[in-house]
Amino acid sequence: MNTPPALEVSALEKHYPRFALGPLDLIVPSGSIYGLIGPNGAGKTTLIDQIFGMGSPDAGTIRVCGLDHEHDEVAVKSCAAYVGPDLSFVAWGKITNAIRFTRGFRPTWDDAYCARLMRDFGISANDRIGTLSFGGRTKLALLLALAWHPQVLVLDEPTTGIDAHTKKAVFVELLGIVRDEARTVFISSHQLSDLERFADHVGVLHKGRLVAEGATGELVERHLQAEWEAENAGAFAHVPGLTLQEHEGPRWRGVLDTMTCPLESLQRRGARDVRTQALTLEELFLALTK
């Protein structure tokens, strides 16, 4: 029996007065770390809100572990966990109270794993939540999400405000649950260097649309920075797979997705003296979202 994707978004649309998400198609393979990157306002948090049923989409569907996110809402929330910057556990006073509350409705809660995570993250059951730093609150949210072994872990900016040692511990845990337990991690983050090292797949979201997606190494490798000379400006407008960045006189500069726009297609349009160079994930992100 084939395992369904951990997350499958099909033709999703959500419209607001000043912003539109989609149409959006996205597949997160089961047992992977998927990094969703995009500038502020690109729609990353809006997508996560839709996944967890905070507002109905105007069109399209979302399936989590093969379950419809609206019709099977309870089952979805039993297999998927969320960690985001707006979560607050201050009302529980101490960390031990937050753990006791969460353990009560998570049948798969693992006390031994919880205790190890507290040691690794440097937090104590008797710490008062109200006195935790922003990074400390993030570590608590990660602890409460990881300790019950969800099938899908959705993280919105999970490393914001935490120190380098804790960040390393977090990614060690994420790699471990994907490798050893075939679970899935979906991360929305601005930490491009971390995602380039740890994410199996990456999607670039810009103005509500997915402008690039693929296995991380393949996505970076198939894109090239290109410079060329040409007189016919109209020949390079609206070319699929070509993101124009700037031009001055006859000199042009842009990014090629060589799967869609190979170098030969530039030359057929009159490009000459074409020069290319490889890109990092950060350079690719900046080029596609300028």
What is the DSSP annotation of 146-188?
HTT--SEEEEESTTTT--HHHHHHHHHHHHHHHHHH--EEEEE
Residue finishing a domain among 160, 178, 207: 207
pLDDT tens, residue order, the chain (290 aa): 577 889 999 999 999 999 999 899 999 998 899 999 988 889 998 999 999 888 789 999 999 999 998 889 889 889 999 988 777 888 889 999 999 999 999 999 999 999 999 998 888 999 999 998 888 888 899 899 999 999 999 998 887 777 787 777 778 888 887 776 678 999 998 778 778 878 889 999 999 999 999 999 899 999 999 999 988 777 888 889 998 888 888 888 999 999 998 988 888 888 889 999 999 888 899 888 87
User: Could you tell me whether strands 201-206 and 33-37 are parallel, antiparallel, or unpaired per DSSP bridges?
Assistant: parallel
Report which of 14, 5, 140 is spatially closest to residue 63, judged by C-alpha positions.
5
Determine the pLDDT at residue 11: 96
Same domain, 46 and 145: yes
Dist CA 179 CA 43 (whole Å): 29
Looking at the structure, do residues 82 and 192 belong to the same domain, yes or no? yes
Q: Are strands 59-64 and 209-215 parallel, antiparallel or unpaired?
A: unpaired
In a domain, 78, yes or no: yes
User: Is 45 inside any structural domain?
Assistant: yes
Other CB atoms within 10 Å distance of the CB of residue 93: 12
Residue 1, pLDDT score: 54
* pLDDT in the model for residue 181: 66
Nearest by Cα to 35 from 191, 237, 169: 191
Is 1 contained in some domain? no
Question: Does 82 fall in a domain?
Answer: yes
One domain for residues 238 and 174: no
- Let me know whether 82 and 20 are in one domain: yes
31 close to 174: Cβ distance less than 8 angstroms: no
- What CATH number is associated with residue 248? 3.30.70
Q: Which domain holds residue 277?
A: 224-288
Same domain, 55 and 164: yes
**Spatial distance between the Cα atoms of 247 and 254, rounded to a whole number of angstroms:** 9
Query: Are both 105 and 165 inside the same structural domain?
Result: yes
Last residue of a domain, one of 181, 207, 233: 207
Q: Is residue 141 part of a domain?
A: yes
Q: At 29, give phi and psi (nearest 5°).
A: -65, 145
pLDDT of residue 276: 92
Domain end among 177, 207, 237: 207
- The SS3 assignment for 106 reads coil
Give the chain's end-to-end CA distance (angstroms, integer). 43
Note the pLDDT of residue 73.
Answer: 87
